[in-house]
Structure 1
Amino acid sequence: MHVVVGGVTHWLWRAIDEHGAVLDVFLQRHRDTSAATSFFQRLLGEYDVPEAVCTDKLVSYGAAIRELPILGDVDHQQVISTARCNNLVEQSHRPIRRQERSQLGFRQGKRAQGFFDLHARITNLYGSARSTIPAHDRRSLLRAALRSWKAVVQVA
């Protein structure tokens, strides 16, 4: 997805696991092979090599995967744009758009990156896919998360 920061278009790279949790969010000015390669290197520095990588049909992803020898055995699946219309993982950028509208845009890249990182961590803790978890289970998970949050805040 693209985000306008200080009047300049930036690209928001997001890595999401199979459960819908955001692994990493990275803001860059370009959407080319070198940008994709640096994003994959950033991910591989924190996480293990995945079994499969699902991307859209941007050619830069395939070129970046071919450039990195560690990703040589990874199954690269390209998703057709119409196939992901109802995919909740692909809709994870909606809260970012909502925040962007309420702030009337982002003005600095560093501040925007900080917001995206924090937003992803909080969404992973408190956000859940409402269509896949029953309401009583979702409420009990939220209560447990709030209890742990209160315990951390009292310790600090």
Structure 2
Amino acid sequence: MTHPISYKRHRFPPEIIAHAVWLYFRFPLSLRLVEEMLLERGIVVSYETVRRWALKFGPEYARRLRRKRPSRRDIWHLDEVVITIAGETHWLWRAVDQDGYVLDEIVQARRNTKAAKRLLKRLLKKQGCPPRRMITDKLGSYAAARRQVMPAIEHRQHKGLNNRAENSHLPLRRREQAMQGFRSPGGLQKFVSIFSAVRNLFVPPHSRRSALATHLHRLNAMAEWKSAVSTAA
């Protein structure tokens, strides 16, 4: 049984806290822009308070959001993107499925077989079953890691086939710009775990293109979000 989230010792109503956190993780907004949007609604709160709310409640909200059920028919698209933090190079390794749903992300200091192997092991543990196919670019680390972790799975290496994974980096790039970069690898890891969980909930799968399907999807997503951030009676 999931216990209600406690908002004790917070002077703002839970609805305002949840709305501020939703704005921050759902849209490419800086903390100061969230502060300004709340002020337009007559809510006077500092951007530092919004930051504290995001750090405190964001992880719990993300844990309560329902994950997509894995399937052995899934196709995993894997890719890595470089992110500079405090002048040092780090790599964000990401896996998405055929619908663009983010399966997992890991911030690592290396772009090698060991790092690719860690991603695959985490994916297998989290998903509970291997995919039907794995698609990557031509980085040799993926092929070496697959041979060690799941040698029976079909692996296609072609840059043109992996646009889905490469495009999945774009929303985070926009956030990185709005936030003027990330301060630490741990901070980036925590942020993407919440950011992608919220994005997975609200962004319709690639297979749902009609306006009506998109509208219904977002209505259902909003209902699930409100359930996830619900307060104690």
Question: What's the TM-score once normalised by structure 1's chain length?
Answer: 0.88
Q: Which runs of 5+ in 1 are unaligned?
A: none
1:31 to 89, 103, 111: 111
Structure 1 position 84, deviation (Å): 4.9
User: 2:15 is matched with which residue?
Assistant: none
User: 1:56 is matched with which residue?
Assistant: 137
RMSD over aligned Cα, in angstroms?
A: 1.8
1:76 to 155, 168, 171: 155
**What amino acid does structure 1 have at the position aligned with 2:85?**
V
2:92 aligned with 1:16? no
Residues 53 and 77, structure 1, Cα contact 8 Å, conserved in 2: yes
| Alpha-carbon displacement from aligned partner over 1:22-73 (angstroms, at most 9, x marks no partner) | 00011101000111111111111111111211010000111111122xx111
| Alpha-carbon displacement from aligned partner over 1:74-100 (angstroms, at most 9, x marks no partner) | 001001x3x258x44431111110111
Structure 1 position 154, deviation (Å): 2.6
For the residue of structure 1 that corresponds to 2:230, the secondary structure is helix
Residues 151, 38 of structure 1: alpha-carbon distance in 2 compared, 3 angstrom cutoff: closer
Structure 1 position 153, deviation (Å): 2.4
Question: What's the TM-score once normalised by structure 2's chain length?
Answer: 0.61
2:228 aligned with 1:152? yes
2:219 aligned with 1:139? no
Q: Distance in 2 between matches of 1:57 and 1:135?
A: 36
Number of residue pairs the alignment of both structures matches: 151
Q: Distance in 2 between matches of 1:119 and 1:152?
A: 15
Structure 1 position 19, deviation (Å): 1.3
Moved more, 41-50 or 125-134: 125-134
Residues 84 and 90, structure 1, Cα contact 8 Å, conserved in 2: no
> 4+ residue runs of structure 1 moved beyond 3 angstroms?
129-132
Residues 118, 2 of structure 1: alpha-carbon distance in 2 compared, 3 angstrom cutoff: same
Q: Distance in 1 between matches of 2:82 and 2:207?
A: 27
Residues 28 and 35, structure 1, Cα contact 8 Å, conserved in 2: yes
Q: Distance in 2 between matches of 1:89 and 1:52?
A: 14
**What amino acid does structure 2 have at the position aligned with 1:100?**
E
User: 2:199 is matched with which residue?
Assistant: 123
2:217 aligned with 1:114? no
